[in-house]
Amino acid sequence: MSRGKTKIAIIGAGFVGSSTAFAMALNQLASEIVLIDVNKEKAYGEAMDISHGLCFVGQMAVYSGDYSDIKDCDVIVITAGLNRKPGETRIDLAKKNMGIAKDITDNIMKHYNGGVILVVANPVDVQTYMISKWSGLPSGRVFGSGTVLDSARFRYALGEKVGVDIKNIHGYIIGEHGDTQFPAWSATHVAGIQIDEYMKITGRTFTAEEKISLAEDVKKSGAMIIKNKGATFYAIAITINTIVETLVKDHKTIRTVSSVMNGTYGLHGVALSVPSIINGKGVQEIIEFPLSPSELAAMQYSAEQLKLILKEVENA
């Protein structure tokens, strides 16, 4: 995106949406940030609270608005949705949030005249697929935050394990953002050295059981945060901020975002996360990493489980 002024809309002024707006304001990521929520008073209050601190960070406009403000946005971030309740299945949540997502999509498209749609609300893979379908936008123009945060958690856990600066660790959680996600161990490196080889040459051990345990801890870390503080919003806000920075600055960054599969790993009719190059227009290219046979099987299983949810949602 090369426009001199950047406009971002955030739909949903809850914990995630408001924290995202705050992170973007601190980073001066846009000329305008508009918060849109069915609770107009909440959106107004959040925008006002952020605006009162702008004199210390820089000049920009942070305000609440409605769907007519979607016009001329470079990025539209969707965070609005219901949270999963105790005892509620993922399919139950998906069905409830699909109605919200459909309404949001319809309202966006009434005023849409360009820009990328970034889906954050859960279940993010299902919503990404359906919003891509409903919007009718070109491939890659709609994508989800996917497993970008999961991958960050994975790198953090690996840094703790090997005692190395997280900046020197590259690793990816791929597949569903949820129960069937898994780490691509074959593409996990420390300072450019494959993780198993790095552990070997540094005289350390990393057993298969330890790998399984670490991956489970990463998968459950969001639930652990919710158990302790009630919700997760700081890390996802930073994650969204990072993704949007790539979009508005056209950085061509590789992130494990969720997008509709059109043949990658032989998959069709589903959205899930794989390393992808994102630029100012959205997902520029999906990278088909050479996965191990077990990882390919895990990818297929993840896609199958997501398709089951999509089937339930589409037939609801």
Instruction: Compute the average pLDDT of residues 29-55.
Output: 97
Range of the domain at 266: 148-314
Residues 135 and 156 placed together within one structural domain of the fold: no
Is residue 157 one of the residues assigned to a domain? Answer: yes
- Examine the fold and report which residue of 144, 175, 195 is the final residue of a domain before the chain moves on: 144
Is residue 1 one of the residues assigned to a domain? Answer: no
Is residue 24 one of the residues assigned to a domain? Answer: yes
Q: What is the pLDDT of residues 85-111, one digit of tens each?
A: 666 667 777 888 999 999 999 999 999
Residues 140 and 152 placed together within one structural domain of the fold: no
Residues 152 and 267 placed together within one structural domain of the fold: yes
Residues 302 and 255 placed together within one structural domain of the fold: yes
Q: What is the pLDDT of residues 273-295, one digit of tens each?
A: 999 999 999 999 999 999 999 99
Is residue 130 one of the residues assigned to a domain? Answer: yes
Residues 240 and 310 placed together within one structural domain of the fold: yes
Q: Is the pLDDT of residue 4 over 70?
A: no
In sequence order, what are the residues at sequence separation of 6 or more whose Cβ sits closer than 8 angstroms to the Cβ of residue 174?
Answer: 147, 181, 182, 183, 184, 256, 272, 273, 274, 275, 299
pLDDT of 78 reads 98
Q: What is the pLDDT of residues 295-309, one digit of tens each?
A: 999 999 999 999 999
pTM for this predicted structure: 0.94
Is residue 171 one of the residues assigned to a domain? Answer: yes
Q: Is the pLDDT of residue 315 over 80?
A: no
Residues 13 and 73 placed together within one structural domain of the fold: yes
Residues 183 and 306 placed together within one structural domain of the fold: yes
Instruction: Compute the average pLDDT of residues 192-209.
Output: 93
- Examine the fold and report which residue of 84, 116, 144 is the final residue of a domain before the chain moves on: 144
Residues 46 and 74 placed together within one structural domain of the fold: yes
Active site residues: 177
Of residues 222 and 145, more confidence is placed in: 145
Is residue 48 one of the residues assigned to a domain? Answer: yes
Residues 201 and 263 placed together within one structural domain of the fold: yes
> What is the spatial distance between Cα 50 and Cα 97, in angstroms, rounded to a whole number?
28
Is residue 175 one of the residues assigned to a domain? Answer: yes
Is residue 2 one of the residues assigned to a domain? Answer: no
Bridge-based pairing state of the strands 173-174 and 182-183: antiparallel
Q: Is the pLDDT of residue 314 over 90?
A: no
Tokens representing 220?
Answer: 């459950």
> What is the spatial distance between Cα 159 and Cα 163, in angstroms, rounded to a whole number?
5
Residues 163 and 106 placed together within one structural domain of the fold: no
Q: What is the domain-level CATH number for residue 50?
A: 3.40.50.720
- Examine the fold and report which residue of 144, 169, 203 is the final residue of a domain before the chain moves on: 144
Total number of domains constituting the chain = 2
pLDDT of 1 reads 44
pLDDT of 203 reads 92
pLDDT of 2 reads 43
* pLDDT, the chain, mean: 93
Of the candidate ranges 6-15, 20-29, 87-96, 212-221, the one whose mean pLDDT is the lowest: 87-96
Q: What is the domain-level CATH number for residue 206?
A: 3.90.110.10
Q: What is the pLDDT of residues 220-260, one digit of tens each?
A: 998 899 889 988 899 999 999 999 999 999 999 999 999 99
Residues 56 and 136 placed together within one structural domain of the fold: yes
pLDDT of 87 reads 64
Residues 179 and 300 placed together within one structural domain of the fold: yes
Neighbouring-strand partners of residue 193: 190
Q: Is the pLDDT of residue 166 over 60?
A: yes
